[in-house]
Structure 1
């Protein structure tokens, strides 16, 4: 029990330590085998991270919300990690994709600078875990900074490519502005609430006269400060998850120029952070039963998000139908899927939240398959969608590609993507007939893009160039098969096993209704 609580705090430390160790390898090792040593360390370390995050998930499922306070200082004075089922699940998903990214990178990345590459990757994973686990809005800012700064470096890894540098600069400039705005919102909340702890803020949004140790009662106007802060945070979360109009400022260019393994990992490790924070802030901290003055403003923001998310989903779906660059195609697909997830959250019911969680999972699996197959195509031909014909003669790769497309489209009940879309339609029906229509229209338009991709992959012919990576494609083929099987297993489990279905649904119920446990276990820890 004590070990499991300690592992929550040790996981980010472990990831940072590995990042530092990888930087020291060239100083210690001078032989030509150093690159292999770096690969071995990265693989073994990411595997350990997966195991630790999975044990944390099991612990939270069996024991409820778990807290770990850094430095021994109890909240709200000290920084605390507060892990519930949602944060533990997304943390495990993030670490799983970290392992897959490392494995794929050992095949795809051919560079003497691989130690820098893996170091930045582990720093990005550290920031991701920090965002998922933290219960402190300022510590969240620190984790976001670590996540974004390492992302900029990874996007610019191909520093001889001017387009990669341009994409990284665009991402860095817009990201710096957005994170600065988040920091300003943190200052506003602190000035009004007198605390940075999420549980403490959550308590006082529901009972402004409540007193807690150190922070006592609220010292300022929480209504005015919260309205400004939440308005800013919404744009921050939209940017992190690349929703229109914020996403079009960076994501297509970043996805096009960053290394394939990195963009495959972005969905779970980086981009899903915006969705998670939107769920956390607007349910646990500023949930539906907050004081009336804030509750009405929260509803207004949700109405705004519903419009933005619907327009974003439709726009990106239309762009999918004409895009010829395979990496940009996947970028627009991601924007469309995450826009639907934002729509689900803003519908403010349990079905909507559950659909958002499933959309994160299904899009993570589908994106990874598409990018891993695209990596083979890029090595053999180029970035054009036509180059996906590179894998047409490999039945396992082609089967995985079909699985990914059907999963993202959400039409086959044996795939997890179907249940994500089905729950989103049910969530929309509870609010208005407009929302299920928007979901179905968006899905229909994306189907044009997805099946166009499949048609080109099956019918086109390409001339392969000589690339030594194509001599052995066991690693990418193994990974896409595993991911395809995972999508099928999750879909079948949701369809056939009531216990699994109830577990997924309970995550959203815990998020919306059991905020009291989150508050009590944090402040009374």
Structure 2
């Protein structure tokens, strides 16, 4: 199973290369679609097998080239990284399947190749145990995202959105690289487990990296502050994300915008989960422990403001794709709020928000794609969905899931856990959560009302001859949201699994360190 962890990114990169070679065939588009579907299905199966192995056997490591860290680069996979890796590969598969219906360009082979490169970067970020390798994966993820945003290069708005995304993203990743250099100058290592050990015990000696190399307190404060800024940007949190995400979601191809939530944007939330639990944990040395508390308080304030502003902006949108973008920012802000509460319930809430939002956003984008093909991006164009009861029902379930009001759906339990986590800190936090939900409700139910009551002319588009693929995918995701919600409500084992991840991330860092450095 260790070899499977190392083989997954190789499969994705190889698939990207093979997809480029499809351009040499006269039937390249057809072959590209087939290769993409088979490869993404294989990647999903592998990520599922990895999660199953990690759940039953604990933290699992793979050392590239056989070199042990800190000399070599390890992939260290625990339940958190395995779960998010599975979510990323599931969204890759769904994106590919949806793209076989939506993408009709002769450049489809290039589109699929970039999509697989983006997925490679995502898996690398989730699995890696090295902060420099995280940077490499982040760059791969980012560059592919920029190119996919500008896939419709004949559209000036798409090119402008991609340039804005690329310029701001390059600044962010460059700052992350600078912070990596600072960390290395102080800790003498780039390995996450090694850094986590020395944050708790500066006197610790690790083969090859030895002890600390400089002032870890001042350097850590500067480096970790920069990293926090970078990943607030990557997670599209106020005010940084407002500069790029709505435009990117609006101009990127529909399946790519749907995939961004789980494949790219979730990487930022993963970093916060990993950083505040494994790296800068509760038992860090006193000088860094107080800094950790200050950083969490800052993030809590930013998350609350971001959730409120995003919910307000969402309720005013007339563009369906920008509506989904602000919905994502609001949902991710609530997830970040859960992380900032520094509790098992808060962490579990963040995980459920990531999964719930990925499902809800994908459904909204998939049915919006039908509207885009038949009319346009306006919310009024969702009236096209009235021709398909299944598509309209999926839209309803997606909205209710994101709103989090029905106990049958996963979104409700994400919100409930956040409220419970907030009650443990302050009565004001649950109130803030409910206020954000109330503002968001205006936008969600306005979207539903407009879709049901509006009338629009449907333009001629070959894709509308059969909308079975997008409708079926949306319906499958809607059923998934219901099944997961029911499992959490009725299955104690599933509840304990989710809540256990929240507790394990904070308390089981020792296994992460030992398995990486000495297994």
Same fold (TM over 0.5): yes
Within a 5 Å distance, the mapping from 1:80-95 to structure 2 comes to 80-95=74-89
Counterpart residue number, 1:153? 147
Structure 2 match to 1:312:
306
State which of 365, 381, 392 in structure 1 corresponds to 2:386.
392
Q: Which residue of 2 aligns with 1:10?
A: 7
Equivalent residue number for residue 16 of structure 2: 19
Give the match for residue 129 of structure 1.
123
Q: How far off its partner does 1:393 sit?
A: 2.8
Counterpart for residue 222 of structure 2: 228
Alignment of 1:26-425 (within 5 A): 26-27=23-24, 29=25, 31=26, 33-425=27-419
Number of aligned residues? 519
Residues 196-229 of structure 1, C-alpha deviation per residue, up to 9 Å, x if partnerless? 0000000000000010100111010000111001
Shift of residue 249 of structure 1?
1.1
CA RMSD of superposed structures (Å) = 0.6
Q: How far apart, in 1, do the equivalents of 2:404 and 2:206 lie? A: 47
SS at match of 1:431: coil
The aligned residue for residue 473 of structure 2 is 479
Q: In 1, are the aligned partners of 2:391 and 2:474 still within 8 Å (CA)?
A: yes
State the Cα distance separating 1:508 from its structure 2 match. Answer: 1.2
Query: Is 1:445 the equivalent of 2:439?
Result: yes
**Contact (CA 8 Å) 2:61, 2:516: kept in 1 or not?**
yes
Equivalents in 1 of 2:13, 2:248: separation in Å?
Answer: 24
Distance 1:316 1:400 in 2: 23
Is residue 22–residue 29 contact of structure 2 (8 Å, CA) maintained in 1? no
**Runs of 4+ with deviation above 4 angstroms:** none
Contact 2:20–2:109 (CA under 8 A) maintained in structure 1: yes
What displacement does 1:35 show? 1.1
Gaps (5+ residues) in structure 2?
none
Checking the alignment, whether the CA contact within 8 Å between 2:16 and 2:116 is kept in structure 1 is yes
Return the TM-score normalized by structure 1. 0.98
| CA deviation vs aligned residue, 1:488-514 (integer Å, no higher than 9, x gap) | 000000000000000011111111001
1:396 and 1:17 mapped to 2: Cα distance?
Answer: 37
Deviations 1:154-199 (A, max 9, x none): 0000000000000000000000000000001100110000000000
Q: Secondary structure of 1:414's match? A: coil
**Aligned twin of 1:463:** 457
CA distance in 2, matches of 1:504, 1:376: 34
Q: Distance in 2 between matches of 1:111 and 1:292?
A: 57
Pairing partner for 1:433 from 423, 427, 433: 427
Mapped partners of 1:450, 1:365: distance in 2:
15
Distance in 1 between the 2:82 and 2:75 partners? 11
